Amino acid sequence: MISENETGRDLLRHALATIAYRGGKTLRDAGRDFAGFRISERSRSPVELLAHLGDLMEWALSISRGKEEWTKVEPKTWDEEVERFFASLQAFDAYLASTAPVSCSPLQLFQGPVADALTHVGQLAMLRSLAGKPIRGENYFIADITAGRVGAEQAAPRFEF
């Protein structure tokens, strides 16, 4: 029988693959000018959201290791933050794929940093539309999303509209 922790790890890994797939779609072909786009003075720009996504995944990894540490990194260039986003997903996923203990409930990791990351990926998608660079809608239910595939290279969409 699979333990709750193992099942939770599997779900978290699939959630990370979902973040990579959906996030990758919002980041591809966005254009360099998209990084600084703002809808108001007080809103986060896409590059700030992307840096925050990296912060979230690094925080989740630190929690998993039992040494919680929040570090807010100042955004670098768009390309550097895209690279950091995928690297932070890969590091967190690799930890979850290992046999190392996870120091908290997988449910807490989901409700905190993972759910927050999903929210911010959605914000990036919305900002793409507002910036005049919309992404195509997709039936994500049939998307080829696989635990462990958390890098920039993702499967092609199966059904966009």
For the stretch 97-115, pLDDT in tens is 999 999 999 999 999 999 9
Residue 136 resides in a domain: yes
Q: Using CA atoms, how far apart are residues 154 and 94, in angstroms rounded to an integer? A: 17
Query: In this model, does residue 80 exceed pLDDT 70?
Result: yes
Residue 157 resides in a domain: no
What is the pLDDT at residue 24?
98
For the stretch 24-66, pLDDT in tens is 999 999 988 999 999 999 999 999 999 999 999 999 999 999 9
Query: In this model, does residue 4 exceed pLDDT 60?
Result: no
Torsion of CA 103, 9, 112, 74, to 10 degrees: 90
Query: In this model, does residue 1 exceed pLDDT 60?
Result: no
DSSP class per residue in 57-88: HHHHHHHHTT------PPP--HHHHHHHHHHH
Query: Which residues, in sequence order, are CB contacts of 111 under 8 Å at separation 6+?
Result: none
Helix or strand holding residue 27 (H, E): helix 4-27
Half-sphere exposure of 13 (CA within 13 A, CB side): 18
Residue 74 resides in a domain: yes
For residue 128, the enclosing domain spans 4-29+45-142
